[in-house]
Chains A and B, each alone.
Chain A
Amino acid sequence: MLLSICHKTELGYSEPISESVMELRVMPRNDARQTLRSFELDISPEAGLFQYGDWQGNLAHCFSVLEPHDRLVIVASSTVETHTRKLRVQDLPDTLPLSGIGHRLEDMLLPHEAVLRDPRLVQFAEQTGIAAERRLSTVLGVVTTRLGELVTYAKGVTSTRSSVSDVLDRGKGVCQDYAHVAIALLRMLGIPARYVSGYLYRSEFTELETHAWVDAFVPSVGWLGIDPTHGELAGDGHVAVAVGRSYADVPPNRGVYKGTALEQMHVSVRIQKASEPLEAPAPPPLGLAARFFRNRLQRERRVDLRTLEQQQQQQQQQ
């Protein structure tokens, strides 16, 4: 499927800030499962960009705006062709424990940031029978379709910093949390798994958004995308942007600025089949053929000087 994506991030500040430095991970990947046809990145105010491949093979962009500014707009537009893989999970021949996993996949077997080991996952694995299951296909099936027993979909309960344990405590979360729980489960069972950030297009959905799912490593086919939030394999509506050990490796944007201003962030994503003409990236009206999703966020951050002092202290204690 040929998809056009427009991902717009607007940052507003209560007073002018300076020396804003940002790192972006917004360019869709180019791999066996999808081909990047075009990509464009616009930054306002204008800023010199440079790009580099990170250690996971994601392409990151970095820019800095030095002079004072109180608004920053980042528009990433891309066209991606996704390829469907004729594959049924139940046909996978692989059995556990997996063999032939090189040390390079070791990273995807270890806890990382939000992806913690949690005793409740051990319990879940025992209850669902996957703890002792030998067929990888069965394990993947359970992890993909049954996380609803642990987590109910709900927005605004968790944050980007919530760990697997936080999510299990609350029993609620969003796609990112489902992905983290699934990764923790898979790694616990010795299956390398990685976090995928990207976009999802589905014609029957009224809302489209930045999305997160999971790549599980299956020796017979390589990385296999599973989407535990929707309980299915990642298909041709899934457009991968970046992969990492957990969310912390691949936030779409991360930056630092000087000043004490408050920040407001507003993210919008539009995704549509590329045969349809793509609207200009200016604020799109709702209800067009193109699906439009708004994710409004208001955050307040003040620098905590106590934190600064603590960090100075934490260095190299003798």
Chain B
Amino acid sequence: MDARTSENGALGRVGFGLPERWTYETPLAEIDEALATSGEVRPPFAAFFAALRNVSPEELSRRFDRARRIIRENGVTYNVYGDPRGMDRPWQLDPLPLVVDGAEWAALERGLVQRARLLDAVLADLYGPRRTLASGLLPAELVLSHPGYLRPLCGFRPAEGVHLHSYGVDIARGTDRRFYVVDDRTQAPSGAGYALENRIVIARMLAQPFRDCRVERLAPFFQALRDGLAGLSPRRDNPRVVLLTPGPYNETYCEHAYLARYLGYTLVEGGDLTVRDRVVYLKTLGGLERIDVILRRLDDGYCDPLCLRPDSLLGVPGLVHAVRAGSVVVANALGSGVLETPALPAFLPRLCRELLGEELKLPSIRTFYCGEPESLAYVIEHLSDLVIHSAWPGPASGEAVFGGELGQSERAELVAKIRHRPGAWVARERPALSTVPVYDGHSLKPRHFGLRAFLARRGDEYVVMPGGLTRFASSRDSLVVSMQRGGGSKDTWVLSSGEPSSVTLLHPPGLPIAIVRSGADLPSRVADNLFWIGRHVERADGTCRLIRSLLLRAAEEEGERSPEIGALVRALGADFEQASGIPSRPGAPLDVGLASVLFSDERHSPKHEIALGYRAASRVRDRISMDTWRVLSHLHLEVERAARRKAFDTSDALELSFSLLLGFSAFSGLVMENMTHGPGWRFADMGRRIERAAFMVRLIRSTLLEVASSGSLDAVLDVADSTITYRSRYFGTLAPEPVLDLLITDETNPRSIAYQLVALKEHVGQLPRARSTPLLSAESKTIVEALSVVRLADLERIARADAHGHRGELAALLGHLERALPTFAEQITLSYLAHVQPSVLVEGVA
């Protein structure tokens, strides 16, 4: 095929109003989704570009920048292992969707539904009568040696006999323009949540074109998924469904959190669940709550360390027993991963004929299972044209090998390995992939792509998501479509066939709104994280406040350092005194040391605390509002970015501290105003109150304990944000007694110690108690006692200094609080959060 020049390949040519620089580099495959070989724009893309006509390129760029910012701030991430950016790399999204014609999609849909029915039937047979093995429709070795063929589930018929509730299919388009299947995801397909996020971002960014193109909506698919799962519950009324995630280190954790929130399910980790008498319960602050349906994102084998993989730290011991007892339904059914083998397509046409009595509608990539002698001979002969895979997933399976890229000795080695155990190997043809235009910020580039389609089971039918997750390769020549390898993703638009009625049908009236209950059903793990978010953010806030005051004062001071500054530096804590080098170098510029404190990696530095708070928040994404998350994420980005800057002067540091403090206020405001005041909020607030009280104790100890440093009254009021109140009450006259009243005993000042203690007492009184007893709990006692000590304090006496200028009564009061606060935090942890502990496996000996 002739290479087309960028001139006649330019999309500007078709008149949707993009200027010359919007060109499409020559597509390299024989086939492109947007351009036909003739150079014409294919109909679905033509419709799209026509709808885009009123969006100028500048406008598109502007909107795209905004969209990317939303993605970053929403924290749509995808964990990439071994990436320098590590966890939470922002999700890469292309502004242009993949556009698919409605009629073409309808045909694909029929093929997908048939395939889902077929795979479900195969699963029912493998875990039931095993006729497919007896008759040789599937090779015994392929199934029996598959680590996902879970023997403890053999002979068990799941609810309604359905194994496959949620199914993901990786599809590609070949040179003959036919769709074909590359991979089947049958145990816990991921990506549907990302597809939804992509849709939300792009539909907002291209609102008008989206409406004009009459794109099929995704919501009905998720509705079907929800209905389907609810229908499985062994208890019909008010079924409790949870989404089981491996945890925040999983690459798609962000999606789990997003989906859980969207579907209105509680996001749980294995440790949140417990099995008692073959019933699964969620451990909450209020006690155990029965679970009816588990939508799992855990691989089969990891779901139960007792009955399945004994080395799993992620599962729920005894889950298999509960499943077999029928008290809980796991979707997809445990064991459905057995179909995740690259060898499967080789057997589907016959299976389809035998099990469904139909011809297979949707072809698959050409596959050869080496366990069959004829295939083995073919594979060895044509090795260089094939891609070799292990027949089974697992750590030992390794990467796919492109036969054509092997040297002489590597080839011989591979052949020997295949011959040693042919049944462990599969070969497939190299995929032929079509390309799609991708916008790189300057022009459109052709990239190979794959589409993951999703199906959900509702009752007797499979519902296909109209659209899906389109992923494209990172470079021009790459055939590897993987987010792990740095590719990107696109929204997928299926153009409605045009009848307006279909749109209304897709939006059934009375779409139920997910009601998220909050209260005692809060998983203890979540409470633990919320508690720590509160603590970390408040610690960062306190330090930032101190640094801002210091910077302001340092800027005014020349030469000699006042005792007041020395006292405030002490309040930063011993870690920082050293880190910033302030006391050891009296002549050194104070501001340089202070700026470094902001980003030091020491414990308690704002950077460190923000990072920990952010991390804790990322573990409970489903419990935090989008705005709150955005604020935290912004704080995190800002301090990380500033830390990377080389030159940093006082005004930069001041600006940063102002900006961070604003962020903390936004966070506090959101927590106070936007979070339901249930137990979750109480834990977050308790964390804050404990740290704020601790900070005030430290501040007062370092500034007001010795009369010699009483010049710092002003500074203390400033740090404690109480200057205005003080002035309005006492006008300019600074005296220790009223200052101490305002900072310690005044229960109306939100920064006073008494205020924190009152709040803590209130929280403790409102928390659910597992065992109701008329006696005060240990944590109540601690806090009541601390509050009485503060309330009974005689201001005149605590302000009084001895002959050496030392305030002994004040020291005693502060000492009491310094003991009480950590004790309280520990007691809360013991009473409510103690079971957040890892599991240990033990196995007997022969």
Residues of chain A having any CB pair with chain B under 8 Å = 9, 11, 17-19, 21-23, 48, 50, 52, 54-56, 62, 64, 66, 102-103, 106-107, 110-112, 117, 160, 174-176, 197, 210-212, 247-249, 251-261, 263, 265, 267, 295, 297, 301, 303, 305, 307-318
Given A23-B306, A318-B484, A55 and B151 touching (CB < 8 A)? yes
B844 within 8 A of A: yes
Contact of B844 among A9, A112, A249, A256 (CB under 8 A): A9
Chain A residues, Cβ within 8 Å of B188:
315-316
A316 touching B844, Cβ below 8 Å: no
B134 within 8 A of A: yes
Chain B residues, Cβ within 8 Å of A263:
840, 842
B79 touching A21, Cβ below 8 Å: no
B310 touching A313, Cβ below 8 Å: no
B79 touching A313, Cβ below 8 Å: yes
Contact of A255 among B134, B253, B324, B841 (CB under 8 A): B841
A316 touching B190, Cβ below 8 Å: yes
A62 touching B318, Cβ below 8 Å: yes
In the complex, A110→B483 CA distance in Å?
A: 36
Contact of A111 among B145, B306, B307, B313 (CB under 8 A): B145
B846 touching A303, Cβ below 8 Å: no
In the complex, A313→B82 CA distance in Å?
A: 11
Best-buried of B133, B134, B140, B302 by chain A (most CB within 10 Å) = B140
Least Cβ distance of B627 to chain A in Å? 27
A308 touching B247, Cβ below 8 Å: yes
A301 touching B276, Cβ below 8 Å: no
Least Cβ distance of A213 to chain B in Å? 11
Contact of B141 among A23, A52, A106 (CB under 8 A): A106
Given A160-B846, A257-B839, A312-B314, A64 and B299 touching (CB < 8 A)? no
Given A308-B247, A311-B246, A160 and B395 touching (CB < 8 A)? no
In the complex, which residue of chain A has the Cβ closest to the Cβ of B337? A316
B669 within 8 A of A: no
As a 0/1 sequence over residues 300 to 315 of chain B, the CB contacts with chain A under 8 angstroms (1 = contact) are 0010011100111110
A55 touching B155, Cβ below 8 Å: yes
| 27 pairs, A vs B, C-beta closer than 8 Å | A18-B835, A50-B278, A56-B151, A64-B317, A103-B130, A106-B144, A111-B145, A160-B846, A176-B846, A210-B845, A212-B846, A249-B151, A254-B844, A255-B843, A259-B837, A265-B844, A297-B845, A307-B313, A308-B247, A308-B313, A309-B247, A311-B313, A312-B248, A312-B250, A312-B314, A316-B252, A318-B483
In the complex, which residue of chain A has the Cβ closest to the Cβ of B133? A103
Contact of B842 among A102, A174, A211, A301 (CB under 8 A): A301
A256 touching B250, Cβ below 8 Å: no
- Which B residues from 798 to 846 make CB contacts under 8 A with A? 835, 837-846
B246 touching A312, Cβ below 8 Å: yes
Given A55-B151, A66-B276, A313-B250, A254 and B842 touching (CB < 8 A)? yes
A318 touching B421, Cβ below 8 Å: no
In the complex, A318→B155 CA distance in Å?
A: 30
B378 within 8 A of A: no
In the complex, A256→B842 CA distance in Å?
A: 6
Best-buried of A263, A303, A314 by chain B (most CB within 10 Å) = A314
A315 touching B299, Cβ below 8 Å: yes
Least Cβ distance of B396 to chain A in Å? 11
Chain B residues, Cβ within 8 Å of A18:
835
Least Cβ distance of A262 to chain B in Å? 9
Chain A residues, Cβ within 8 Å of B321:
50, 52, 62
B688 within 8 A of A: no
Least Cβ distance of A251 to chain B in Å? 5
In the complex, A295→B844 CA distance in Å?
A: 11
A311 touching B274, Cβ below 8 Å: no
In the complex, which residue of chain A has the Cβ closest to the Cβ of B485? A318
B845 touching A295, Cβ below 8 Å: yes
B482 within 8 A of A: yes
Given A110-B141, A311-B312, A11 and B318 touching (CB < 8 A)? no
Chain B residues, Cβ within 8 Å of A252:
844-846
Given A19-B274, A62-B318, A110 and B395 touching (CB < 8 A)? no
- Which B residues from 139 to 158 make CB contacts under 8 A with A? 140-141, 144-145, 151-152, 154-155
In the complex, A27→B484 CA distance in Å?
A: 48
B251 touching A160, Cβ below 8 Å: no
Least Cβ distance of A100 to chain B in Å? 14
B844 touching A315, Cβ below 8 Å: no
B846 touching A55, Cβ below 8 Å: no
**Helix, strand, loop or mixed for chain A's interface?**
mixed
- Which B residues from 382 to 435 make CB contacts under 8 A with A? 395, 420-421
Given A303-B840, A312-B249, A313-B79, A64 and B846 touching (CB < 8 A)? no
B837 touching A21, Cβ below 8 Å: no
Best-buried of B185, B312, B321 by chain A (most CB within 10 Å) = B321
Least Cβ distance of B473 to chain A in Å? 13
Least Cβ distance of B120 to chain A in Å? 19
A318 touching B251, Cβ below 8 Å: yes
Number of interchain pairs (Cβ within 8 Å): 182
B846 touching A257, Cβ below 8 Å: no
B277 within 8 A of A: yes
Given A48-B277, A103-B140, A253 and B843 touching (CB < 8 A)? yes
Query: 8 nearest interchain CB pairs?
Result: A253-B844, A312-B249, A303-B838, A106-B140, A252-B844, A312-B246, A21-B317, A256-B317
How many of chain B's residues have a CB under 8 angstroms from any CB in A?
65
Given A251-B843, A297-B845, A311 and B314 touching (CB < 8 A)? yes
Least Cβ distance of A98 to chain B in Å? 15
As a 0/1 sequence over residues 347 to 390 of chain B, the CB contacts with chain A under 8 angstroms (1 = contact) are 00000000000000000000000000000000000000000000
Given A103-B134, A260-B838, A267-B844, A309 and B249 touching (CB < 8 A)? yes
In the complex, which residue of chain A has the Cβ closest to the Cβ of B424? A111
Least Cβ distance of B1 to chain A in Å? 32
In the complex, A247→B844 CA distance in Å?
A: 11
B730 within 8 A of A: no
In the complex, which residue of chain B has the Cβ closest to the Cβ of A160? B845
A64 touching B314, Cβ below 8 Å: no
In the complex, which residue of chain B has the Cβ closest to the Cβ of A105? B140
Least Cβ distance of B459 to chain A in Å? 26
Chain B residues, Cβ within 8 Å of A48:
277
Least Cβ distance of A36 to chain B in Å? 20
Chain A residues, Cβ within 8 Å of B643:
none
Least Cβ distance of B326 to chain A in Å? 13
A260 touching B249, Cβ below 8 Å: no
B249 touching A259, Cβ below 8 Å: no
B230 within 8 A of A: no
A301 touching B79, Cβ below 8 Å: no
In the complex, A251→B247 CA distance in Å?
A: 29
In the complex, which residue of chain B has the Cβ closest to the Cβ of A161? B843
In the complex, A160→B321 CA distance in Å?
A: 25
B298 within 8 A of A: yes
B467 within 8 A of A: no
A110 touching B842, Cβ below 8 Å: no
In the complex, A61→B483 CA distance in Å?
A: 45
Least Cβ distance of B311 to chain A in Å? 8
Best-buried of B395, B483, B484, B842 by chain A (most CB within 10 Å) = B842
In the complex, which residue of chain A has the Cβ closest to the Cβ of B151? A55
Chain A residues, Cβ within 8 Å of B621:
none
- Which B residues from 277 to 332 make CB contacts under 8 A with A? 277-278, 297-299, 302, 305-307, 310-314, 317-318, 321, 324
A313 touching B421, Cβ below 8 Å: no
In the complex, A212→B840 CA distance in Å?
A: 26
Best-buried of B188, B249, B253 by chain A (most CB within 10 Å) = B249
Given A311-B246, A312-B314, A256 and B839 touching (CB < 8 A)? yes
B648 within 8 A of A: no
A318 touching B252, Cβ below 8 Å: yes
Chain B residues, Cβ within 8 Å of A260:
837-838, 840
In the complex, A66→B279 CA distance in Å?
A: 14
Least Cβ distance of A315 to chain B in Å? 4
A303 touching B839, Cβ below 8 Å: yes
A267 touching B845, Cβ below 8 Å: yes
Given contacts A19-B835, A256-B840, 15 further A-B contacts (CB under 8 A): A19-B317, A103-B140, A106-B133, A110-B141, A111-B145, A257-B839, A259-B840, A267-B844, A301-B840, A301-B842, A308-B838, A312-B247, A315-B314, A316-B189, A318-B484
